[in-house]
Structure 1
Amino acid sequence: MISHDTIVALATPSGAGAIAVIRISGKEALTLAASVFQSVSGKDLTKQRTHTLHLGHIVDGDKVLDQVLVSLFKGTNSYTGENTVEISCHGSTFIQQQIIQLLLRKGARMANAGEFTLRSFLNGKMDLSQAEAVADLIASDNEASHQIAMQQMRGGFSNEIAKLREELLNFASLIELELDFAEEDVEFADRTQFYELLNRIEFVLKRLIDSFAVGNVIKNGIPVAIVGEPNVGKSTLLNSLLNEERAIVSDIAGTTRDTIEDELVINGIGFRFIDTAGIRDTADYVESIGIKKTFEKMEQAQVVVYLVDSSSITGNLKAVQVEIEKIKNQFPLKPLLVIGNKADKISEADKAVIETEIPGILLISAKENRGVETLKEQLLSFVNTGALRNNETIVTNTRHYDSLLKALEEIQKVQWGLQSNLSSDLMAIDIRQALFYFGEITGQVTNDELLGNIFANFCIGK
């Protein structure tokens, strides 16, 4: 897995731009860069200090390819923990390719996906959970996911795990020591302190495991299905939420034949709104396919918004109540928001009746953008943002979640063994297994297949 050859890749997004950055890393990175760089002041690049910038030209023999700015990062002072050079050139795709091809001819090879961060992990610059947070940071598209990724990249999560692992390891050492003196029948590990430690570890693990429910929706966005009969204003509501004409709106019932999805960030939390086809009995084959998809999207959504036409509720109250109960019974674990649209067309007296007969209904006018902000506030109320506000550790990675569950299972086995006066040798097995799962998270226990799977999801150049 550890490779000492020199790698090169474009570190900025592909395509034309004002500036592009080409990154080189490896034992020969400085020598290789110096072989194609001519400083405007005649400096020898290999003799310059780390963390310095140098203006000059990239040359291929007598041919000048571009005027560039070269950044030097030597040895362990770099991102990868080895000699690294970054060439800031003009953003022409032609110039980018010319420089990269020149470096390849000089002996570098193209970096694999995530190889710079992989080298950083292998060289001890960061642990595995921090390395994975780099990918999450790059992919973050809202304030909340950015905040979580930054906290994990700075070691918030791994520090918490490392502390628990160290304390457990200390007691594991004492338990193992007892095995060496089994014939003496002595106890080196204080059972009372050990039991307190196990309880504390169990508490922390359960908190981290519970945080995954919040972390997962923050990372991937919260899917919200907007459902209702045709022509109640589902597409108008979607357009109002997004503040753009995303969906086609008309007075013809059944205009939306397929689901339309778009994302909106509300107070740093990502929501993925799904405008579905209207639910009704229809002989139209194409429309019936759209209605089938509506129920599929409701199944996948975490929140269901049921939209009704306020102007038709009073004359059809019983049917609306039956439909609301039907959705609640079909999706009992999903939050349901009942929205009465077109509230601008009804009287204050009708509003009072509707709000009395359908508790919790929110009356809005999507067309006039009235009540939409209140709807956003209600959607936010379904997300536990307390952990974010308190800067608590939140788990967003499925691999971490799985390892935490397995570690908790082993800890609970040790707790049972301690209560049952199980022999030290049997408890030691469960302790070692718990330590193994802790180590899996931070990368103290790993293998080439795991690393390959993780870093394959990175972009080239990172």
Structure 2
Amino acid sequence: MIQLDTICALATPQGVGAIGVLRVSGERTFEIVNKIFKGKDLTKVESHTIHFGTIRDYTDNAEGKIIDEVLLSVFKTPRSFTKEDVIEISCHGSDYIIKYILKLLIQNGCRMAKPGEFTQRAFLNGQFDLVQAEAVADLIAADSEAAHKTALNQMRGGFSTQLKALREELVHFASLVELELDFGEEDVEFAGRDDLRQLILKIQNFLKKLIDSFDSGNAIKEGIPVAIIGPPNAGKSTLLNILLNEDKAIVTDIAGTTRDVIEDILFIGGIKFRIIDTAGIRETKDVVETIGIERSKQAMEKAEIIILLFENEVDQLFLANTFADMVKDKEVIWVRNKIDLFSSPPAPLLQGEGGKSPTEAFKPSPPRRGAGGEESPAKSAFNVVSTNLLKKARELRRTSTETEEILWELLRNRQLGDRKFRRQHPLEDGYILDFYCDESRLGIEIDGAHHHEGTQKKYDAARSLEIEFIYGIKILRFSNREVLEDIEKVLQTIAEHFISSPPTPLLGGEGSKSPTETFKPSPLRRGLGEESINISAKNNIGIEELKDTIVAKAKIKKQSDTMLTNLRHYEHLVKSHDALEEVLKGLALGITGDFLAQDIRLSLYHLGEITGQITTDDLLANIFSKFCIGK
């Protein structure tokens, strides 16, 4: 399909440079360029040759005004990119010279090319299919080794060659099925049903591989989102700056400096990552900071990899307690920052006897065993405690607050849900719970006004999580005001915990679950026992180890020749696969050829949409409008 008009455009980027390249393509290419070029007659030279000469403006005199000395690259039809006559003019990169030459080309019969029009002509003239044409744009936009490799493979044929061959086989069977319809009365079968079934299974297998590769292919093309999450002043912005090797984010000692999401691109090991710095997570009354925190949570939901950045164990416990549900399907990297501030490596907050890790600390001492002899993974709430701690617990019982007395009168003697509660119950590590029910592994704390202040509230949350982590005891916290003004709601909340956690005897029994079965910390909380990456973002310590970990967490399958990166292709492949599934169902039910033909035609339509064998003007306009001018 040869276009009647001749187009021209600048093929190199705008701006001053050593050279600029202008491209001319169309039926009148040599005629038009000959009018402004002084050198050889371009109609008489060989294709794929380069010629020196001058571009001249002959408007005012016969000699012509010299505009520039140039080199012309000549490509004659059909041996060119567009399969038309093409000339590329290499001139000096002055903006004035480039615009002057374009003006001369237009005055002599060219028009300016639209975005992607050269590639569109190449497609329309049969140089390559639509998949390869789109790959040209992907190759231009490729900004990583992986993206470049994928786009280059697609441009050179990639899966479209295989797809075209399979489509031709399906067309052959479709024509035989259609032929049967003309001989319906003779009851003949031109298309063997077993052969058709085998072909469809082969095509489906190929389509399934492409469909399954889309997530990895899209990650290669668009980049893998990585969110940095943590409390204020944990060093998130400093980490972003050191990863990007530039001062992208403002860094101060003032908590809440980052108010919005900051995103930039980072390449590690040939893979593109989108690193996202977020506002520090905390409770605040500042309206702008609150919006920033909400955006941080949205960024975390969209991210595939989450860096949970913390400075100390209290912050680590806060992150685990806050985001356990939000990150359960994500790749999580625990990172301890500011290690340069410690003279020696900080010990884990959740230590067992002898400074053991949280994982080891789950083993109680002495061990508490169930009826089957199994050892509980959590510390017993009844281990031996110090005499001083027992003395303190007894003192607290004698000096109970008004709200504690009110609640105790409603909990004692199994009045609520037939559960036995104890008050001022001591734990091995120095904790004393206001109320404790062993049957439901439930602790209740009544908090005064000072517990609602920022630092104390944060400590209480960490303390509750630590008790749950070590002992498997769920902590419910109520304020004095809640007990005094809405005691029914307090009792209802406690009772709801009974419903969600049926009572389990400590020593087990017939039909009862063992403590091992009932106490299962969330995956994120179990992760607290795993080793975190220790870094100092300020002093560039441990950053290379963090980068290696990010690459290891990236969910990119090994690149193959069949990697799908285009959403348009993905949509049509899924629809084609579904149509073929309907054909298989029809074969199994033995339905007539006319119904089989309908589903086969639908599958062929979607396959043709991918490679461009079936197109519309709107589709082509949409695809090529995204190209740059000159390509």
TM over 0.5: yes
Is the contact made by 1:113 and 1:458 (CA closer than 8 Å) also made in structure 2?
yes
**Comparing 319-328 and 299-308, the one that deviates more:** 319-328
Q: Distance in 2 between matches of 1:171 and 1:132?
A: 29
* Change in CA separation of 1:420 and 1:360 when aligned onto 2, cut-off 3 Å: farther
* Change in CA separation of 1:51 and 1:353 when aligned onto 2, cut-off 3 Å: farther
Is the contact made by 1:439 and 1:445 (CA closer than 8 Å) also made in structure 2?
yes
Q: Distance in 2 between matches of 1:306 and 1:296?
A: 15
Is the contact made by 1:238 and 1:247 (CA closer than 8 Å) also made in structure 2?
yes
Q: What pairs up with 1:22-61 in 2 under 5 angstroms? A: 22-39=22-39, 43-61=40-58
Structure 2: which 5+ runs fail to align? 59-63, 349-354, 360-527
Q: What pairs up with 1:183-222 in 2 under 5 angstroms? A: 183-222=185-224
Question: Residues 156-213 of structure 1, C-alpha deviation per residue, up to 9 Å, x if partnerless?
Answer: 1211211221221222122222222222222222222221221121111111111111
Whether 1:133 and 2:132 are equivalent positions in the alignment is no
Code of the aligned partner of 2:253: D
Q: Distance in 2 between matches of 1:252 and 1:333?
A: 33
* Change in CA separation of 1:355 and 1:234 when aligned onto 2, cut-off 3 Å: farther
For the residue of structure 2 that corresponds to 1:23, the secondary structure is strand
Is the contact made by 2:230 and 2:319 (CA closer than 8 Å) also made in structure 1?
no
* 1:404 equivalent in structure 2: 573
* 1:267 equivalent in structure 2: 269
Deviation at 1:2, TM superposition (A): 6.8
Q: Distance in 2 between matches of 1:328 and 1:381?
A: 22
Whether 1:350 and 2:347 are equivalent positions in the alignment is yes
Is the contact made by 2:5 and 2:27 (CA closer than 8 Å) also made in structure 1?
yes
Is the contact made by 2:2 and 2:125 (CA closer than 8 Å) also made in structure 1?
no
Code of the aligned partner of 1:227: I
Q: Distance in 2 between matches of 1:103 and 1:349?
A: 72
For the residue of structure 1 that corresponds to 2:146, the secondary structure is helix
* 1:161 equivalent in structure 2: 163
Q: Distance in 1 between matches of 2:71 and 2:346?
A: 71
For residue 233 of structure 1, the aligned residue among 219, 232, 235 is 235
Is the contact made by 1:129 and 1:443 (CA closer than 8 Å) also made in structure 2?
yes
Whether 1:97 and 2:131 are equivalent positions in the alignment is no
Q: Distance in 1 between matches of 2:358 and 2:8?
A: 64
For residue 114 of structure 1, the aligned residue among 113, 116, 124 is 116
Code of the aligned partner of 2:338: K
Is the contact made by 1:128 and 1:441 (CA closer than 8 Å) also made in structure 2?
yes
* 1:371 equivalent in structure 2: 542
Code of the aligned partner of 1:330: M
Whether 1:334 and 2:336 are equivalent positions in the alignment is no
Q: Distance in 1 between matches of 2:300 and 2:97?
A: 49
Q: Distance in 2 between matches of 1:114 and 1:226?
A: 38
Q: Distance in 2 between matches of 1:132 and 1:15?
A: 26
Q: Distance in 2 between matches of 1:59 and 1:349?
A: 76
* 1:420 equivalent in structure 2: 589
Q: Give the RMSD, CA atoms, in angstroms.
A: 1.8
Q: Distance in 2 between matches of 1:236 and 1:338?
A: 16
Deviation at 1:322, TM superposition (A): 5.4
* 2:394 equivalent in structure 1: none
Q: Distance in 1 between matches of 2:22 and 2:130?
A: 25
Is the contact made by 1:387 and 1:394 (CA closer than 8 Å) also made in structure 2?
no
For the residue of structure 1 that corresponds to 2:21, the secondary structure is strand
For residue 611 of structure 2, the aligned residue among 414, 420, 442 is 442
Question: Residues 13-37 of structure 1, C-alpha deviation per residue, up to 9 Å, x if partnerless?
Answer: 1111100001000000011111110
For the residue of structure 2 that corresponds to 1:461, the secondary structure is coil
**Comparing 226-235 and 241-250, the one that deviates more:** 241-250
Question: Residues 353-408 of structure 1, C-alpha deviation per residue, up to 9 Å, x if partnerless?
Answer: 667543253332223323322222222233344431xx331111111011001101
Q: What pairs up with 1:139-150 in 2 under 5 angstroms? A: 139-150=141-152
Is the contact made by 1:387 and 1:393 (CA closer than 8 Å) also made in structure 2?
no
**Comparing 366-375 and 405-414, the one that deviates more:** 366-375
Deviation at 1:443, TM superposition (A): 0.2
Is the contact made by 2:22 and 2:90 (CA closer than 8 Å) also made in structure 1?
yes
Whether 1:17 and 2:13 are equivalent positions in the alignment is no
Is the contact made by 1:22 and 1:88 (CA closer than 8 Å) also made in structure 2?
yes
Deviation at 1:45, TM superposition (A): 1.3
Is the contact made by 2:240 and 2:277 (CA closer than 8 Å) also made in structure 1?
yes
For residue 66 of structure 2, the aligned residue among 47, 64, 67 is 64
Is the contact made by 1:214 and 1:383 (CA closer than 8 Å) also made in structure 2?
no
Q: Which has the larger radius of gyration?
A: 2
Code of the aligned partner of 1:131: A
Is the contact made by 2:301 and 2:326 (CA closer than 8 Å) also made in structure 1?
no
State TM-score, norm by structure 1.
0.93
Question: Residues 118-163 of structure 1, C-alpha deviation per residue, up to 9 Å, x if partnerless?
Answer: 0000000011011001111111111111111100000112112112
* Change in CA separation of 1:354 and 1:285 when aligned onto 2, cut-off 3 Å: farther
Q: Distance in 2 between matches of 1:163 and 1:321?
A: 57
For the residue of structure 2 that corresponds to 1:257, the secondary structure is coil
Structure 1: which 5+ runs fail to align? none
* Change in CA separation of 1:429 and 1:338 when aligned onto 2, cut-off 3 Å: same
